[in-house]
Structure 1
Amino acid sequence: MSNNRYPEEFKIEAVRQITDKGYSVADVSRRLDVSVHSLYAWVKKYGPEAEKHAAQTEEQAELKRLRKELQRVTEERDILKKAAAYFAKQSD
């Protein structure tokens, strides 16, 4: 297998051969001299369920961002609680 960069049109046509024309991934891989792994990635990106995968990826990124923000805010809250307790002790 070669280590080439392929144009987007080539990738879309390869995916079309798998999804529309019914060729197997292995068969298309051999004929186009492209790795099976690359073809599966292209099917995921350009195939009929590409929008679904893109939405899931966006949701996962948003979930990761929100979890990180929650962790930061929780740590800030804990620090503020400790500071409030410290200053309450000092005022007595």
Structure 2
Amino acid sequence: MSGTRYSGDFKAEAAKPVIDQGRSVREVLTQLGVSIDTLYAWVREQRMVPVTRQTDASLAAEIRRLQAELKRVTEERDILKRAAAYFAKV
């Protein structure tokens, strides 16, 4: 184990030919000089990134929707409280 640390950009660029161009891992690793296990891990990691981003985006949209619904329901509750108090006096 050499202990060399690679940047995230380097890892993404190293995995790109395998993912986008369909080149073999062995072909790419001979050009880069990294181990086969390392390159397979980078490819696996890069394939998972879009799924994670899509999941995060859908969760953020769901959170916004739920916050808007909570605001609406809270306002409705407050109106009903005031109406109940008004009619209790009458």
Provide TM-score, normalisation by structure 2: 0.56
How much does 1:75 deviate? 1.9
* Structure 1 residue aligned with 2:36: 31
Gaps of 5+ in 1: none
Cα distance, 1:75–1:30 mapped onto 2, change above 3 Å: farther
* Cα-to-partner distance string for 1:25-77 (whole Å, 9 max, x where unaligned): xxx684374683x54332233xxxx4x76555433321221112212221221
* Structure 2 residue aligned with 1:16: 17
- What letter matches 1:42 in structure 2? Q
How much does 1:84 deviate? 1.2
Identical counterparts, % of pairs: 11
| CA RMSD after TM alignment | 3.6
Structure 1 contact 15–43 (Cα < 8 Å) conserved: no
Cα distance, 1:35–1:22 mapped onto 2, change above 3 Å: closer
- Structure with higher Rg: it is 2
Q: Does 1:79 align with 2:78?
A: yes
Gaps of 5+ in 2: none
Residues paired across the two proteins, number: 82
Provide TM-score, normalisation by structure 1: 0.55
Measure, in 2, the Cα distance between the counterparts of 1:79 and 1:5.
Answer: 56
* Structure 1 residue aligned with 2:48: 44
